[in-house]
Amino acid sequence: MNAASVTTTLAKFGRFTLFLGRLVAGVPSTLRRPRLLLEQVHMTGALSLVIVMLSGLFVGMVLGLQGYDLLRRFGSTESLGTAAALGLLRELGPVITALLFAGRAGTAITSEIGLMLATDQLAAMDMMAVDPVRRICVPRFLGGVVSMPLLAAIFATIGIFGAQVVGVAMMGVDSGQFWSQMRGAVELRDITEGVVKSLAFGIACSAIAVFEGYHALPTAEGVGRATTRTVVNSSVAILAIDYMLTAVLL
């Protein structure tokens, strides 16, 4: 990496930060129009439900199998519930939901805004004295921020159910111990950690998706590249933020 590309990256990061500031500044005006926000919670959240629930089920089932195999070696299979719940609530729930969100909702946001840019819809709005950042970008950003913790919670819940199906129904772990150990070990701060993480991922993923769409080159290729950048940048951001938050919150 040479000096020019470092400068370009830093400049882009600076533009992103300023754009994030504009998004946050626009939040109060969106809150005054709850219909706009609800539409976006539906688009980003409700329409991502199927993929999130299916993934949650399978991740939970894999956790059930792997966890059972690992715990069996130490003779403590009854801790399977605790292991699955902690893993899902603190780590896998927020992270995998965020990665799925970037692929499902993030790409949809970027390509939609990019195409609106390419077809002069944003310029037309600007000419009608309607700020496209406030009218288009902020509701999508806020919709993502609201949806992400809800999706992560659903992911974790279904995941625990999946682990229970495998552990209790298939592997024969005692159902009472599965649940009672989990209830004894999981604390409020474990849930808080998951909520904080998924909020942070929601802010990062939604802001990246909106930023890339709004700054896409207004051509077919430009919108395609912007959509790719959304997935790549969001994924890296999710994993980097995850490490930082884990280090702080543990």
Partner 1 sequence: MRSEDCVARFDDVGYTVGGRQVLSGLDFAIERGRVTALMGPSGTGKTTLLKLLTGQIQPTAGRVTVIGQDLAMLDRRGLYALRRRMGMLFQNGALLTDLDVYENVAFPLREHTDLPEPVVARIVLMKLESVGLRGAARLLPAELSGGMARRVALARAVVMDPEILIYDEPFAGLDPIALGMVLKLIRDLNQALGITSIVVSHDVHVIERLADRLVLLSGGRIAAAGTPAALAADPDPVVRQFMSGSAEGPVPFHYPAVDVATDMLGTD
What is the Cα–Cα distance from 98 to 147, expressed in whole angstroms? Answer: 10
**In the complex with partner 1, which residue's Cβ is closer, 116 or 160?**
116
Closest CA to 46 of 113, 102, 101: 101
Q: How far is the CB of 45 from partner 1 (least distance, A)?
A: 18
- Two structure tokens written together for 248: 């702080």
**SS3 of 172, please?**
coil
Look up residue 67 and give its two tokens. Answer: 């966890």
Of 128 and 248, nearer to partner 1 (C-beta) is 128
82 by Cβ neighbours in 10 Å (0-12 / 13-18 / 19+) ranks as: buried
Cβ atoms of 237 and 205 closer than 8 Å? yes
54 versus 123: smaller Cβ distance to partner 1: 123
Residue 147: which residues within 8 A CB-CB, separation 6 or more? 41, 44, 45, 48, 101, 105, 202
**Least distance (Å) between residue 15 CB and partner 1:** 18
Q: Cβ neighbours of residue 244 under 8 Å, at least 6 residues apart? A: none
Min separation Cβ 130 and partner 1, Å: 5
Contact (CB, 8 A) for 178 and 81: yes
How near is the Cβ of 30 to partner 1 at its closest, in Å? 13
Residues touching partner 1, count (CB under 8 A)? 14
Least distance in angstroms from the C-beta of 148 to partner 1: 23
Q: Give the nearer residue to partner 1 in terms of CB position, either 127 or 250.
A: 127
Shortest distance in whole angstroms from residue 127 CB to partner 1? 4
When the beta carbons of 37 and 116 are compared against partner 1, the nearer one is 116
- The burial class, CB within 10 Å (0-12 / 13-18 / 19+), for 2 is exposed
3-state helix, strand, coil in the chain (%, to 5): 90, 0, 10
Nearest residue (CB) to partner 1, 161 versus 218: 218
What minimum distance in Å lies between the beta carbon of 218 and partner 1? 12
Nearest Cα to Cα of residue 142 among 213, 93, 195, 210 = 210
Residues 108-147 contacting partner 1, CB under 8 A: 116, 119-121, 123-131, 135
Q: Which of residues 177-206 bind partner 1 (CB under 8 A)?
A: none
Closer Cβ to partner 1, 129 or 188, answer by number = 129
Binding residues vs partner 1 (CB under 8 A) = 116, 119-121, 123-131, 135
